[in-house]
């Protein structure tokens, strides 16, 4: 930590799956790597034991307690995904002569409605934070949003990556001529048919921990083989290894929020299965995402049909597989546009310091 380090308290509640902890950990580690001092207050640290077992210099992890105290020197308080820090803590903020900057970091937004809330103040008129202002920070694609998590050096590391050496080091060597695919999805009724299509060419399928593992096992049997396809059920990976698994793939299926961005920065063909919501909000989010993409870079129709299929609950057979070259070109074109935008951590630091 440097003498001038800004001090951040970052609050996270794990609602479901790995994404809440995953996003907060990436942000905490990125802030710390830039010289900031971070406390990550999290109600369930168990996902961190898998994805960040070694921690990171500059990040202190604390278990969420209702009596967690506000240290005098904290400059910025971030609550992830409107998780509401403990009332006692908020009251301590309100009691400060110079309160910390208080931000709500939203889920990734794709729809215009979400983006309109970026940077708006939410004056606290009642409750323990009365008199404070909480600011809305909205991650997203393109101008007017708070940007996307992208650590300095990420794209250079990806460009320098040597997949065969890395696969070998993990004990998952690729046979000559094999393509590599990653399947990190939720359940999907068409997975067995998707595997049949994939099995038409020599393929090493890497399946990270999650609901896809039993589905692949059920479809392929205990040998995890079918036609020219062989699957590997992966152990837990650190986030850095997870990213490299995506980098090693010719194509991938990702889910949720954090792995979507990792697949985008990776630059290889991918499809995104959104976290399903009962009211169908994920379908609107997907359409807005595809519209953003098509506005910035040509998106082949076959690729968008692929996205729709992966987000259809009663799926028929998978559509024709998009041409890999066109699909890759579309991902790279959008990635390169997005990489010109200031990343989320840079924007967040600037925003917080301006408001403070």
Kindly name the residue from 30, 79, 178, 257 that is annotated as catalytic: 257
Using the rule CB under 6 A, is 187 a contact of ligand TRH? no
Distance from C-alpha of 178 to C-alpha of 163, rounded to nearest angstrom = 12
CA–CA distance from 114 to each of 74, 118, 207, 291 (Å)?
28, 7, 32, 15
Using the rule CB under 6 A, is 247 a contact of ligand TRH? no
What kind and span of H or E run contains 182? Answer: strand 179-183
From the list 170, 226, 221, the residue with the least C-alpha distance to 195 is 226
Using the rule CB under 6 A, is 318 a contact of ligand TRH? no
**Shortest distance in whole angstroms from residue 50 CB to ligand TRH:** 6
Using the rule CB under 6 A, is 89 a contact of ligand TRH? no
Using the rule CB under 6 A, is 208 a contact of ligand TRH? yes
Active site residue 257: yes
Contact indicator for 268, 249 with CB cutoff of 8 Å? yes
Using the rule CB under 6 A, is 172 a contact of ligand TRH? no
**Shortest distance in whole angstroms from residue 21 CB to ligand TRH:** 8
From the list 304, 327, 167, the residue with the least C-alpha distance to 248 is 167
**Residue of the chain from 1, 15, 62, 112 that contacts ligand TRH (CB under 6 A):** 15
Distance from C-alpha of 185 to C-alpha of 211, rounded to nearest angstrom = 7
Distance from C-alpha of 209 to C-alpha of 62, rounded to nearest angstrom = 26
Among the listed ranges 86-94, 187-195, 252-260, 304-312, the one in contact with ligand TRH (CB under 6 A) is 252-260
**Distinct helix (H) and strand (E) counts, the chain:** 14, 13
- Binding mask of the shown chain, residues 50 to 79, with x at each position contacting ligand TRH by CB under 6 A: xx----------------------------
Enter the tokens of residue 323: 């041409």
Kindly name the residue from 9, 20, 258, 343 that is annotated as catalytic: 20
Using the rule CB under 6 A, is 239 a contact of ligand TRH? yes
Where does this chain bind ligand TRH (CB under 6 A)? 15-20, 22, 50-51, 107, 208-210, 236-239, 242, 255-259, 275
């Amino acid at each position: 930590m440097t003498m001038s380090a800004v001090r951040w308290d970052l609050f996270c509640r794990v609602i479901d799956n790995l994404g809440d902890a995953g996003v907060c950990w990436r942000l905490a580690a990125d802030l710390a790597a830039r010289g900031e001092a971070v406390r990550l207050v999290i109600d369930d640290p168990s996902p961190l034991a898998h994805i960040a077992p070694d921690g990171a210099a500059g990040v202190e992890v604390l278990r969420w307690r209702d009596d967690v105290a506000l240290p005098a020197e904290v400059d910025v308080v971030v609550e992830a995904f409107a998780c509401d820090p403990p009332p006692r803590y908020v009251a301590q903020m309100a009691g400060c002569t110079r309160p910390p900057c208080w931000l709500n970091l939203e889920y990734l937004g794709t729809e215009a409605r979400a983006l309109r809330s970026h940077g708006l103040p939410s004056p606290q008129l009642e409750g323990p934070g009365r008199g404070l202002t909480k600011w809305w920070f909205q991650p997203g694609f393109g101008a007017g949003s708070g940007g996307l998590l992208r650590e300095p050096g990420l794209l250079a590391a990806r460009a320098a990556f040597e997949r065969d050496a890395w696969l070998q080091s993990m004990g998952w060597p690729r046979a000559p001529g094999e393509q590599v695919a990653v399947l990190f999805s939720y359940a999907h009724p068409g997975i067995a048919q998707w595997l049949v299509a994939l099995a038409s060419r020599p393929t090493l399928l890497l399946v990270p921990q999650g609901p896809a593992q039993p589905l692949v096992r059920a479809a392929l049997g205990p040998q995890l083989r079918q036609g020219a396809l062989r699957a590997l059920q992966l152990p837990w990976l650190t986030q850095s290894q997870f990213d490299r698994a995506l980098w090693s793939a010719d194509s991938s299926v990702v889910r949720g929020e954090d792995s979507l961005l990792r697949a985008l920065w990776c630059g290889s063909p991918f499809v995104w299965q959104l976290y399903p919501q009962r009211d169908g909000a994920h379908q609107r989010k997907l359409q807005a995402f595809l519209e953003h993409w098509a506005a910035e870079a040509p998106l082949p129709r076959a690729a968008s049909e692929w996205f729709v299929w992966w987000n259809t609950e009663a799926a028929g057979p998978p559509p024709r597989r998009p041409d890999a070259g066109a699909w890759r070109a579309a991902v790279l074109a959008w990635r390169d546009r997005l990489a010109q935008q200031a990343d989320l951590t840079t924007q967040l630091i600037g925003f917080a310091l301006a408001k403070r």
